[in-house]
A = this chain, B = another copy of it.
Amino acid sequence: MGLRRVGRVSARAGIVVTGTEVLTGRVRDLNGPWLADRLLELGVELAHVTQCGDRADDIDAQLRFLAGQQVDLIITSGGLGPTADDMTVEVVSRFCGRELVLDDGLERTIDEIVTGLMARFPDVDADAVRAANRKQALIPAGAQILTPVGTAPGVVVPGTPTVVVLPGPPRELQPMWRAAVATDAVQAAIAGRTRYEQHTVRMFGLPESGLADTLRDAEKTVPGFDRLEITTCLRRGELEIVTRVEPQHASAYTDLLSLLRDRHGREIFSTDGALVDDQVAELLAGRRIATAESCTAGLLAARLTERPGSSAYVAGAVVAYANDAKIELLGVDGEVIDAHGAVSEPVAEQMALGALRRFGADTGIGVTGIAGPGGGTAAKPVGTVCFSVVVRDDDGAVRALTRTTHMPGNRSDVRERSTTIAMHLLRRALIGAG
């Protein structure tokens, strides 16, 4: 993994992640990486991420440190709740030299939200909760309010640096960040940013070293290659190549993409940002799919149904862990299991066909493998997984695409990666490129 950086100065930012549960490693911080990505998209340079517990002195020290590093923008996450250890707004207010003032409109908004929530918890003293939440309506004088997505409002405090204060839960922070970016204060703070075009190429089935070779060649043959900022990332067998380029150097990216297509045309599955999930969802429109899963144990069905509207094309799934479940529910032939083993291509294919028939579907997929840590043999070590996709074509004929793979990693890795491989096989079978 790596980054080729173009050495040019633009707007700089720092992120302060508060919360003892994050500092102590009990909760994984999702906000730092998510905000880092958003800043990258905007062309704002992220200089520092700092994490501290719910202590006023520590939060204040980090704000001062970042200000001393001449960042234009500070983003904080966490510490906006109603309890005494939620203190970010107060600390930021003091840091920015502004008084805390009660915002009446905001207090009413929070009241309405909290009253709605309280309906679910009839035992709780609503007055006490409302009093606690009143604290959340205190904001730094002159700050801009970010409407709560949960119960906690955020604020944008204009200045040098400008400070954006966001709540900790990612599902609240993310839409509120988008609102923050739209404010005049944030736009002014990041005015010096470099405007980039960003492109993403995704590949499946290419080792990282193969890509590294190609990029080394590109360095010699692609004019303007040094104007491209390229980040590569390998995740579960998928390689993601993100390239940022200023518009005046766009042809360097076009040339790079041509080279990638020449060398790795078969492995490239997306050049427009689409995920394999997007592509499979599109290919399944008007169809009806069912899965038969052993080692992935429902992860594939769960992934196919992640997006809204998937009930239009997902009929269902059978997770058949036990052999008798494979026989009873999916109609797998017991003799085939005896002859080839439960982890075998014939069984994967029979599972796929069983799912297709059972659910009256036109697309079926079977996955059977050894996730470990036990169950491996010399012939079929842990990480051996068989996949089969069966597709009924318009003429009624059923064709199958069947593969066996061997993958590294622990139980969780094998299950996750098998799910991704299944998505890619599904894609190939559905576009008929299998």
Chain A: interface size category: 35 or more
Query: Is A403 interfacial (CB 8 A cutoff)?
Result: no
Taking A26-B231, A27-B1, A209-B132 as contacts, is the C-beta distance between A321 and B305 under 8 angstroms?
Answer: yes
Query: Is A50 interfacial (CB 8 A cutoff)?
Result: yes
Stretch at the interface among A251-259, A391-399, A410-418: A410-418
A124–B213 Cα distance when bound, in Å, is: 9
Main secondary structure of the interface of A (DSSP, over half): mixed
Tell me if B54 and A308 are in contact (CB < 8 A).
no
Nearest first, the 3 A-B pairs at minimum CB distance are A298-B298, A25-B33, A298-B301
A70 to chain B, nearest CB (A): 10
Tell me if A3 and B53 are in contact (CB < 8 A).
yes
Query: Is A421 interfacial (CB 8 A cutoff)?
Result: no
A150 to chain B, nearest CB (A): 9
Stretch at the interface among A101-109, A137-145, A184-192, A312-320: A312-320
Query: Is A95 interfacial (CB 8 A cutoff)?
Result: no
Taking A306-B412, A411-B308 as contacts, is the C-beta distance between A50 and B50 under 8 angstroms?
Answer: yes
A265–B345 Cα distance when bound, in Å, is: 51
Tell me if B3 and A24 are in contact (CB < 8 A).
yes
A172–B424 Cα distance when bound, in Å, is: 26
A49–B298 Cα distance when bound, in Å, is: 37
Q: Mark A187-217, 1 if CB is under 8 A from B, else 0.
A: 0000000000000000000010110110000
Taking A51-B50, A308-B374 as contacts, is the C-beta distance between A231 and B298 under 8 angstroms?
Answer: no
Stretch at the interface among A15-23, A158-166, A220-228, A271-279: A15-23
Q: Mark A68-89, 1 if CB is under 8 A from B, else 0.
A: 1100000000100111111000
Stretch at the interface among A57-65, A333-341, A425-433: A57-65
Tell me if B61 and A37 are in contact (CB < 8 A).
no
A40–B25 Cα distance when bound, in Å, is: 10
Residues of chain B with a CB closer than 8 A to A415's CB = 302
